Amino acid sequence: MFVGIASLILLTLTAVAVGRAQESSAGITGFIPSRVVEERQLEAKLKQVPDAAHAETNLRHLTSEPHMAGTDASRRVAEWLRDQYSSFGFEVQIVTYTAWMPQPREIKLELTEPEEKQLGTPEQPIDVDKDTSDRRAIGAFNSYSPSGDVTAPVVYVNYGTLADYQKLASLGVSVEGKIVVARYGQGYRGIKVKLAEEHKAAGVILYSDPQDDGSEAGTPFPNGPWRPASGIQRGSVIYTELYPGDPLTPGVAATPKATRLSPADAASLPRIPCMPINAQDATAILGNMTGPQAPSAWQGGLPFAYHVGPGNAEVHMRIDVEYKERPIYDVIAKLHGTDDGQWVIFGNHHDAWVYGAADPGSGTASLLEAGRALGELAKSGWKPRRTIVFCEWDGEEEGLLGSTEWVEGNLAELRAKAVAYVNTDVGVNGPNFEASAVPSLKDLVRDVTREVQDPKSGVALHDVWQQHVSDMQKDSASTGRQSPPPDPLGKVPLGSLGSGSDFSPFLDYAGIPSMDMGFSGPYGVYHSIYDDFYWMKHFGDPTFAYHAALAQILGLVALRLDEADILPFNYPVYALEIEHAATDVYTRVANQQDQDKLEATLDAAAHLSASAHRASEALQAISTGPIDPARADQINHALAAVEQDLLAPNGLTGRPWFKHTIYAPGSYDGYAATAIPGENDALRMNDSAMLRHEADSLSAALLRASAQLDNIARMAREAAPSSESGH
């Protein structure tokens, strides 16, 4: 029965208070007091190892040649990474999959009206940066665009969001049979193509507007970090909001024996051609357009008034793409622990559109340093408590291919063994720390940042992070720019996990608790030829000190998760965030019958809060130790499994690959996380039957998680000293 929102919030706050009681300024969450000194000594040794010069050497090698997925260069990077981890003392293998992947044969664009003009201008070489002249770089294209040859008038659709199409409709403008021009930003490029396809456009052109990441944002490269006028953002347009990974093998690993769909039956493949261009070419198209003047919010940074069309501007686009099964190479490195029945997993991808200094090389360079640090500890006599797995994925840029295929191929073992997955991707492109995580692991991220110094100021990174977020929130209040939403408990806020990087298959499909982290800053060369070593050395992280800091953070997270007596999950906080999200959905429903159904969801959320409270209290009672190792193992397996209980066995409506009932990328939001995604999709579609189905699915998941937490409380009570003595 529905307990009422006030009672529900009170119950949660009580549970959170208990969760806070587990924290001790002298101790470490998850560690019994007798092991804290040993852990701090181990962490101190680890922090001494990551080195900026080593990270710089790593990145210089990683960016020595273009290495797009599906090429021999990507294989060479994988082999080098294998050798590096092997030298650190890891057991390493390269796991190969074959995925349906494109490479361009011809990308052609020309203005046909009001005059004929060849477009499709390539990125221009920069004299001071020799890498920008490398002929091995594959020209800019949008991966998974089909081949196509289209001539049609142009319509400007701003960012190409659902709201933008609604605005166009109010202006009486249709894109049917037209080529739409959309600027990059405010959503995943694949969503832009999907919406254009749904609105019956004939093709899509994506461009980088100077207002978003070019000259209007700051000084362009090579004199600054922002996108020059000839810069082009490459990128995949595969529909990862339906499912990521190889488009022909959803739900199974892309091995030689896998049954494959025909490309015509693969729902994640776009059906209309798409290509990216630079601001120079966009000027030639948009500058000739007539029709209604664009709304003021649609005006970008090009030097004329934008019009939506159609009228006056017509273009011809020709795209010829070769599709075939191509190999991808995952590097899996294991530092075996005393207990191989529990895995702490780290990952980043190694493939890049060109050189990928920031994306992903900075993350790879830092992850290597964290691996080297752990290897040094092992060589000095330390034995991990749990097995630590470092993964370097291939094919991430194409659509999370390598990570998805590995998770799909090892699903049962991962669900039995994985404690957590820790991701970094664009590890460093500036000095500002950012992180996202499932709510149960957010405090772990905060705790670790208290142990690492900010390279610039020398104070605790946590304090610099908190001040930066505070400054962003003040700036947002005066300028309207986006900033992180406040944390419900007043702590430094972390984001939620949606999609867009390799944590997605771990969380959304396998139900493995996950986090993602890195340092950000002014970064306008994303997915361009200019994201190279020169850019990083001059703008992203010239001293590589933040690479070393990220390696320290990753290493400390590894030690906290690997060595903990009781894994440091905070489920009262998780319950609080679920309640906020569920209540938000409830307040937006007007139909009484639907509200009645959602009250059952709120009631299930209240049960989850109560169970989280009981589990937290019981774990607090055994936190002083000692704890029987066999009982601790049982408790830890159950703690990690709570996330799996939040999965819907049959997945979300219309998106069965996505099984997480609490977090998933929005159907039309791209990478951004949507909380309570099933119910929110139903509200957007105004589908009461779907809403009731998703409410039932969510309620069942919350009650499964509640039962698991009650089981944890029972096991913890049985492990308490009073239980052993018969009291």
Contact at 8 Å (CB) between 390 and 333? Answer: yes
Give the dihedral of Cα atoms 188, 511, 268, 72; nearest 10 deg: 80
Cα 408 to Cα 403: distance, rounded to the nearest angstrom: 9
Contact at 8 Å (CB) between 50 and 369? Answer: yes
Give the dihedral of Cα atoms 371, 643, 451, 432; nearest 10 deg: 90
Cα 598 to Cα 607: distance, rounded to the nearest angstrom: 14
How many alpha carbons lie under 13 Å from residue 406 in its C-beta half-sphere? 29
Residue 474: partners with Cβ closer than 8 Å, 6 or more residues away: none
| Cα distances (angstroms) measured from residue 620 to each of 440, 614, 643, 708, 711 | 16, 10, 21, 17, 15
Cα 586 to Cα 584: distance, rounded to the nearest angstrom: 5
The rounded Cα 454 to chain-centroid distance in angstroms is 24
Contact at 8 Å (CB) between 681 and 656? Answer: no
The rounded Cα 317 to chain-centroid distance in angstroms is 32
**Is residue 705 classed as helix, strand or coil in its secondary structure?**
helix
Cα 89 to Cα 379: distance, rounded to the nearest angstrom: 8
Beta bridge pairs of residue 153: 314
Cα 66 to Cα 134: distance, rounded to the nearest angstrom: 9
Q: For residue 657, what is the enclosing H or E element?
A: none
| Cα distances (angstroms) measured from residue 359 to each of 218, 270, 273, 416, 488 | 20, 24, 25, 31, 32
Residue 390: partners with Cβ closer than 8 Å, 6 or more residues away: 85, 90, 332, 333, 334, 335, 346, 347, 367, 370, 371
Beta bridge pairs of residue 433: 519
Task: Confirm whether 396 is a catalytic residue.
Answer: yes
Pair of tokens at residue 140: 């800019």
Which residue in 314, 396, 563, 694 is the catalytic one?
396
Cα 39 to Cα 331: distance, rounded to the nearest angstrom: 29
Q: Report the b/e string of 59-72 with b at 16+ CB within 10 A.
A: bebbbebbbbbbbe
Pair of tokens at residue 477: 């209040």
Which of 74, 531, 512 has its CA nearest to residue 331? 74
Which amino acids are annotated catalytic? 396
